[in-house]
Amino acid sequence: MAVNYSAKEEADGHPSGGIGGPGGGAVGGGGGSRGAVKTRKPDNTAFKQQRLPAWQPILPAGTVLPAFFIIGLIFIPIGIGIFVTSNTIRAHAIDYTGTEPSSPCHKCLNVSWDITPPCTCTIDFTLEHSFESNVFMYYGLSNFYQNHRRYVKSRDDSQLNGDNSSLLNPSKECEPYRTNEDKPIAPCGAIANSMFNDTLELYRIDNDTRIPITLIKKGIAWWTDKNVKFRNPTGDGNNLTALFQGTTKPVNWPKPVYMLDSEPDNNGFINEDFIVWMRTAALPTFRKLYRLIERKNNLHPTLQAGKYSLVITYNYPVHSFDGRKRMILSTISWMGGKNPFLGIAYITVGSICFFLGVVLLIIHHKYGNRNTSADIPN
């Protein structure tokens, strides 16, 4: 088979590629410079071609309508029960910050950490209703951001767990409250340094006579915190002064950690007021358990309706950061403290579902039986 070249190709000496030609390549090819033709077509697989088995729920009226009615009929009674239970809880709060000039605690507003003697103030109040069951006394703070990242990390859990090496060499996370005057701080960190230290006393006024209310300081911390997470250093447990030898108190504390309480099982790192404070709050407005008031017998309420007096030893400064302090007396129920929001939320969701069920039922009854298929002419 003869191969003919054009005159120009013969002159140049570079014939285009063909069968047996010097240019090489396949018939009609342009040589090796032309690659395979690329395509953007997806592979022929079940995944890329969307042929995988799928299930799509079809929600007819016979399924949707009963679901709305069932949710409504379940949520509304639950919400009513929670709301009524919440309203049976007695609660009374007293703000004793002292920002108002007429407040008895106004004289203590600008108190500092190291003030001596401490400033005291008394607030009289009246309970309109009796508190029947056990009463919990809380202290509350506002505009105090315990959830700040650096604040939350400013502690040494090994030191709080009684590790002797960490006691004398605290974690660097505690800076700048790690050491003071070349001595390790126990407990170290910003959380411990800012521990709440107001003292609250409650009295019932009967015929102008002040009768003290017994406030229980034990049993306010979580069991796991008291017995697992917080421990005093190992050694002679009856001599905490020797166990904490070589350490110094936090900067803002008036006394060292081994003098927090006179009872050995509530002193040092296992002091329950200290343990409660070390469990940081998630929001800037919070309350923490301070004391318990137990009911003595079933014949008389724990706190009778009447006049009471709250005596505050005002040690904790909050005015510098526009904070506020309050004391709360509250009972509890099976659902916890007073919180009407949960009951209102259940009632609202149940009512909306029931209302939507009625509306959809009317629409289905009115339009659901219509024949929407188009008439095909003969």
**DSSP string across 85-126:** HHHTS-EEEEE----STTSTTGGGTT--TT-SSPEEEEEEEE
Cβ(168)–Cβ(185) under 8 Å? no
Strand partners, 216: 292
Q: Where are the alpha helices (DSSP H) in the chain?
A: 7-12, 61-87, 149-153, 157-160, 164-168, 190-193, 223-224, 240-243, 272-278, 340-367
Confidence class of residue 35 from pLDDT cuts 50, 70 and 90? low
Confidence class of residue 368 from pLDDT cuts 50, 70 and 90? confident
Cβ(254)–Cβ(197) under 8 Å? yes
Mean pLDDT of the chain: 87
Rounded to a whole number of angstroms, the CA Rg of the chain reads 38
**Confidence check: pLDDT of 227 > 60:** yes
Considering only residues 27 and 93, tell me which one the structure prediction assigns the higher pLDDT: 93
Cβ(138)–Cβ(331) under 8 Å? no
Confidence class of residue 370 from pLDDT cuts 50, 70 and 90? low
- Mind listing the pLDDT tens digit for each residue in 139-162? 999 999 999 999 999 999 999 999
Considering only residues 73 and 18, tell me which one the structure prediction assigns the higher pLDDT: 73
Whole-structure pTM value: 0.77
Confidence class of residue 36 from pLDDT cuts 50, 70 and 90? low
Residue 9 has a CB neighbour count (10 Å cut-off) of 14
Strand partners, 209: 206
- Mind listing the pLDDT tens digit for each residue in 104-115? 999 999 888 877
| DSSP character at residue 244 | T
In whole angstroms, give the CA distance from residue 230 to residue 153.
17
Q: What pLDDT, on the 0 to 100 scale, is given for residue 235?
A: 81
Q: What pLDDT, on the 0 to 100 scale, is given for residue 37?
A: 73
**Confidence check: pLDDT of 195 > 80:** yes
- Mind listing the pLDDT tens digit for each residue in 159-182? 999 999 999 999 999 999 999 999
**Confidence check: pLDDT of 24 > 60:** no
Closest Cα partner for 109 from 333, 346, 324?
324
Confidence class of residue 378 from pLDDT cuts 50, 70 and 90? very low
Closest Cα partner for 124 from 360, 358, 352, 327?
327
Cβ(32)–Cβ(38) under 8 Å? no
